[in-house]
Structure 1
Amino acid sequence: MLAGVAGISLILVGCGQKSSQEKKTITTSTDTELTTVDPSKTTAVGTFNVLNNVDEGLFRLGKDSKVEPGIATSSSVSKNGKVYTFNLRKNAKWSNGDPVTAQDFVYSWRRTLNPKTASQYGYLFSGIKNADKIQNNKAAVSSLGIKANGKYQLKVTLEQRIPYFKLLMGFPVFFPQDSKTVDKYGSKYGTSSKTQVYNGPFTLTKWTGTNSTWTLKKNADYWDKKAVKLDNIKFSVQKDPSTSLNLFNQGKLDMAQLSATQSKQMSKKKDLISRRQSSNYYIAFNQKIKAFKNLKIRQAMSMIINRPVLVNKVVAGGAINNKSFVSKGLAVSPKNGTDFTDDVTVPESMNYNPTKAKKLFKQGLQEVGMKRLHFTLLNSDTYDQKQLSEYLQSALEKLPGLTVSLNNIPGRVILSRQADHQFQATVANWFADFSDPITFLNILTSKNPSNISQWKNSTYDQLIDASNNDDGGNAQARWNDMVKAQNVALNDQAIIPLYQSGEKWLVKSSVKGVIYNTAGANYNFKDAYIK
């Protein structure tokens, strides 16, 4: 998933009665800022949603994550499932007029994997020939299993079958990049709308890199521009959901995401809809810190949290307590069709037990030679996440000897702090990049840059490695590896899973054609329109 800032949302907006020209514009609001539109460096859900609409890869993901044509007009795969050949359309262009070629994909993939880029998403390329060796500085970037056969044919060689390979191709990390633009802007590449070029249905405009508004404008050079009905999608940052609700009630918004309190108050509204997200919100403890290396302390802090109260009273919005790290509804067993979360063995620490929690915490403090523990909990500064922080502070401080301070900061800062491990404890989240459990499980491996807690477990690493390599061609064996790995992570309290998020929206019937997928880049506006 997609790592991102907690509480990212999208709100489609209109302004009362629309003229015929205004009917080609959707105004949206979000509760977090853009940080970068460099596809090699971003990790934020909101940014991937933008990239999914201003850029395009080999495939696009339509309704229910169905693979649809993108830059590739056709593709074929070898009998052993390890070699893919893509034929590219010759009428695809960048917004600066350059043609989109096979070499743009080669350049983009190599740039993301290059250790100098320090991408947190390089691990997604695992399974492509030499990708892991390149990330570990054991092979040249040029040895990656991707090759341009002329301008309009691309060949990708894998080390083993990747069951979800085509889904990956619809995720922005695998989109092409224009090398001329990267070279032109250097370190400023992707830091504003003017330091990037686009090949998707829209282009990004009016974003300076620090402002709280931006616009997606219909791309006149897009190969399928006739299918794009909107002229503009306008974004503005609104961190207080009451502002959005007031605008909706005034007839100035077409669609408004609700806070936990609002969603309960509006439960009988005919315009109310629910959207489940393939996500997990969790607490990550910096396990380089002595106290957080202690398993009993981590278990106690998990056990003191009343998750049913958390999801129903604090978070709401369709959130669920699935007692898992992998989200519910993401994948089903190849053997019997049961949900992945149904195969999880839930440890005692995932259940609310304040008496046992206090006992474990006391034992943990004794083991690390401490009488009291004080730490700061880092989280984003959106309305709902501030509410969550306050609840967690209240719950955790029921452990005798524990004091928790809160630090809620803007989204552009928190992702950097998490990536650099500049925190004691933080609320983080992961949103699925594609519909497979490994999208969650990969990030807890010891060398994964998105493993912000820096937890390490050799058994876990071995199981994930087996699922990606030796058992990659055996669906059931691979499934069993992933189930066992998740059980290891939960039992060792790698992180503290809190909830799987959902969204409650008030939506006017005039908003049509917006495609929402629970995994990957969630929003596809290519076919959206106002009726």
Structure 2
Amino acid sequence: MPPHSWTVPTRILGVIALTCSLVACGSGESNVESGNREGIFYYGNGSEPQGLDPHVVTGVPENHIIRALFEGLAVKNPYTLEPEPGVAESWDISEDGRTVTFHINPEARWSNGDPMSAHDYVWSWKRLLSPAMGAEYNYMLFPVKNAKAFATGEITDFAEVGVKALDDLTLQVTLTERTPYFIQLMDHYSTFAVHRPTLEKFGQATDRFTPWTRVENMVSNGAFRLKEWALNRRIEVEKSDTYWDRDKVRLNGVVYFPTENVVSEERMFRVGQLHYTQSVPLGKIPLYREMKNSPYVQAPYLGTYYFLLNTTRPPLDDVRV
């Protein structure tokens, strides 16, 4: 992923130039035209997000928005995929690879101005791992010592889990064993910190889908903050003036459109209502490829697929099969 959450929309800003030629003729100004002028990026986001709580949601549409609103301890370079500083300005890894010490950027702020601290992560990770939370992505932290045992209820004292705030700006994480990809996991939204005072204002830590994610309540720490959420119509985020790297944020905002119909979303793109879409009907791909200065870009999409095999029933219960 990109080196900063602001580069998610910034990286695809280059698509604007390609889509300008697709603007529909007419007297009205299209989204692409007004967006180019105002620095607003119009994004085709597929389905309506199920929510915006990083510890609850699991989908790709949610990922797009949450990554604009929040930032992890580390982020991935968009070209090399190597981890780069996010909320943590640096980190140290012990010689045996089992202790990771994150140094929180003293300039990192929540969108309400509160400073971020290592304690935010201790509390947030306890929330993610709490059995009462039932977080589907809690396994992202299972490399941490005793994290799985806490999540499954085998132990109940979170002090036994390998997460400690040594001081306000130092987070020490002890792993069960060397985990070379652990820093990369800090870029997954399930590991992001959430603002404790805001969540506790609207319920218990492990309550799901409380009003804390509404526009008037949300406190986040990313390059953008939530401006509007019109259910099944649009979600708009605006540039945050508290983000630590705000001077490099080149967009003033992003508007996400939920459009579950692939044909409809592609049509919105074609007539200049969207700068970006991942929804292209298969039958139209050859047409886009043949276009001069085609806006169609095919890129790798990283994912993991696997099969679960029932080895308790024939014939797979036989080790010789």
TM over 0.5: yes
For these two proteins, the number of residue pairs brought into alignment is 281
Q: State whether structure 2 residue 295 is matched by structure 1 residue 278.
A: no
Q: State whether structure 2 residue 69 is matched by structure 1 residue 47.
A: no
Q: CA deviation at 1:172?
A: 1.2
Q: How does 1:408-427 map to 2 (within 5 A)?
A: none
What secondary structure sits across from 1:255 in the alignment? Answer: coil
Larger strand proportion, structure 1 or 2? 1
Judged with a 3 Å threshold, the aligned counterparts in structure 2 of structure 1 residues 43 and 245 are, in CA distance, closer, same or farther, namely closer
Judged with a 3 Å threshold, the aligned counterparts in structure 2 of structure 1 residues 279 and 165 are, in CA distance, closer, same or farther, namely closer
* Cα deviation code 1:36-75 (max 9, x no counterpart): 1111111111112211121111111121322111111111
Q: How does 1:116-515 map to 2 (within 5 A)?
A: 116-139=132-155, 140-186=157-203, 187=207, 188-207=210-229, 210-256=231-277, 257-270=279-292, 271=294, 272-279=296-303, 325=305, 457=311
What is the TM-score of this pair, normalised by structure 1? 0.49
Specify the code of the residue in structure 1 equivalent to 2:119.
Q
What secondary structure sits across from 1:206 in the alignment? Answer: strand
What is the TM-score of this pair, normalised by structure 2? 0.79
Specify the code of the residue in structure 2 equivalent to 1:202.
F
Q: CA deviation at 1:190?
A: 4.9
Note if contact 1:114-1:141 (Cα within 8 Å) is conserved in structure 2.
no
Specify the code of the residue in structure 2 equivalent to 1:192.
R
Note if contact 1:36-1:190 (Cα within 8 Å) is conserved in structure 2.
no
Q: Which residue of 1 aligns with 2:7?
A: none
Note if contact 1:36-1:192 (Cα within 8 Å) is conserved in structure 2.
no
Judged with a 3 Å threshold, the aligned counterparts in structure 2 of structure 1 residues 266 and 18 are, in CA distance, closer, same or farther, namely closer
Larger helix proportion, structure 1 or 2? 1
Identical counterparts, % of pairs: 26
What secondary structure sits across from 1:18 in the alignment? Answer: helix
Cα distance in 2, alignment partners of residues 211 and 19 from structure 1: 22
Note if contact 1:213-1:237 (Cα within 8 Å) is conserved in structure 2.
yes
Give me the CA root mean square deviation.
2.7
What secondary structure sits across from 2:297 in the alignment? Answer: strand
* Cα deviation code 1:482-514 (max 9, x no counterpart): xxxxxx8xx9xxxxxxxxxxxxxxxxxxxxxxx
Cα distance in 1, alignment partners of residues 183 and 86 from structure 2: 12
Cα distance in 1, alignment partners of residues 136 and 310 from structure 2: 17
Cα distance in 2, alignment partners of residues 457 and 230 from structure 1: 52
Cα distance in 2, alignment partners of residues 211 and 46 from structure 1: 13
Judged with a 3 Å threshold, the aligned counterparts in structure 2 of structure 1 residues 225 and 279 are, in CA distance, closer, same or farther, namely same
Note if contact 2:44-2:274 (Cα within 8 Å) is conserved in structure 1.
no
Cα distance in 2, alignment partners of residues 126 and 245 from structure 1: 40
Note if contact 1:185-1:195 (Cα within 8 Å) is conserved in structure 2.
no
Cα distance in 1, alignment partners of residues 90 and 107 from structure 2: 14
Q: Which residue of 2 aligns with 1:484?
A: none
Q: State whether structure 2 residue 33 is matched by structure 1 residue 18.
A: yes
Judged with a 3 Å threshold, the aligned counterparts in structure 2 of structure 1 residues 41 and 252 are, in CA distance, closer, same or farther, namely closer
Specify the code of the residue in structure 2 equivalent to 1:175.
F
Cα distance in 1, alignment partners of residues 237 and 77 from structure 2: 19
Q: CA deviation at 1:216?
A: 1.6
Cα distance in 1, alignment partners of residues 138 and 246 from structure 2: 31
Q: Which residue of 2 aligns with 1:60?
A: 75
Q: Which residue of 2 aligns with 1:103?
A: 119
**Greater Rg by CA:** 1
Unaligned stretches of 5+ residues in structure 2: 1-11, 21-29
Note if contact 1:25-1:230 (Cα within 8 Å) is conserved in structure 2.
yes
Judged with a 3 Å threshold, the aligned counterparts in structure 2 of structure 1 residues 71 and 248 are, in CA distance, closer, same or farther, namely closer
Higher relative contact order (CA 8 A, sep 6+): 2
Judged with a 3 Å threshold, the aligned counterparts in structure 2 of structure 1 residues 166 and 33 are, in CA distance, closer, same or farther, namely same
